[in-house]
Amino acid sequence: MTIRNWVKFFLMCMLIGGAVTGIAGIFVRWNFFQPYLAAGQLGEFFAAFGWMILLGCTMSVIAQAGFFAYLTLHQVGVGIFRTLTLWNWVQMLLVVILLVDLVVFRFAPSAHGARDWLFYIGLLVFLVSAAIATAIKKVQLTGKKHVLVPAIFFMIVITSLEWIIALMGRQGNIDTYVALLLFPLIAVNAYQLLLLPKYNSKSDADRKKLEERRKERKLEQKNKSRNANA
């Protein structure tokens, strides 16, 4: 990917992360925003909204780091297990282990009743559903069925590792951030997974155009030299 397209990719991910967190924050943390509106404190309201956007931008950077780390991990995994099929089975095993870990070691210690379990299981269902939907879309875009498992692995395992920042918290309102931070991570990771090939193709096209310009310049210089010597 060229630097120009990488910058566009980076900024677009930040825009998505910030926008999704800002909008989701109003709904998830309505009890926090509502008093400002009721009191007519628009400055405080927009300051809080800006904080939500900044938080989303930060999570988008974490998501991008996780994405490029996975690209490296995927190549290493294929190299170690020799075949993509075997590596896919390993990835599915890791997905199962990760889901068990979330339920047993992340959700269970914080769940103190049926309402808490409903909340956490709802988030888990949302994560898995979004992962499957994104993976299916990836298969449709590429026409390659073997990308289904890596896409599911990335959307569930890598997103959960990025989400661990909120899951490890123990503050009184941590459940709010557990829910809130999941939205930008899923949105940014889905965008990266689905749109990266587009940016790579654009980079290839840009490189070809640049090479053609260089050839044209060299040809023009040769023609000028010939005319000067004639």
pLDDT (tens digit, 9 = 90+) per residue, 11-65? 999 999 999 999 999 998 888 888 888 888 888 889 999 999 999 999 999 999 9
What are the residue boundaries of the structural domains of the chain, listed by start? 62-210
Dihedral sign for Cα atoms in the order 198, 139, 24, 60 = negative
Nearest to 142 by CA among 193, 191, 186: 193
**Per-residue confidence at 132, pLDDT binned at 50, 70, 90?**
very high
Q: pLDDT value at position 3?
A: 86
Lowest mean pLDDT among 30-44, 54-68, 123-137, 211-225: 211-225
Amino acid at 74: H
What value does the mean pLDDT of the chain take? 89
What is the chain's Cα-based Rg? 23
Measured distance CA(18)–CA(1) in Å, rounded: 24
CB 196 within 8 A of CB 6: no
The answer for residues whose C-beta is within 8 angstroms of residue 192's C-beta and 6 or more apart is 9, 13, 63, 64, 67
Query: 76: which 2 tokens?
Result: 């290493």
Measured distance CA(131)–CA(125) in Å, rounded: 10
Measured distance CA(185)–CA(60) in Å, rounded: 7
Q: pLDDT value at position 170?
A: 58
Q: What is the largest CA-CA distance in the chain?
A: 92
CB 25 within 8 A of CB 49: yes
Question: What is this structure's pTM?
Answer: 0.87
Burial 20-51 (b: 16+ CB within 10 A, else e): bbbebbbebbeeebeebeeeeeeeebeebbee
Mean pLDDT for 141-168 is 91
Answer yes or no: is pLDDT of 193 > 90: yes
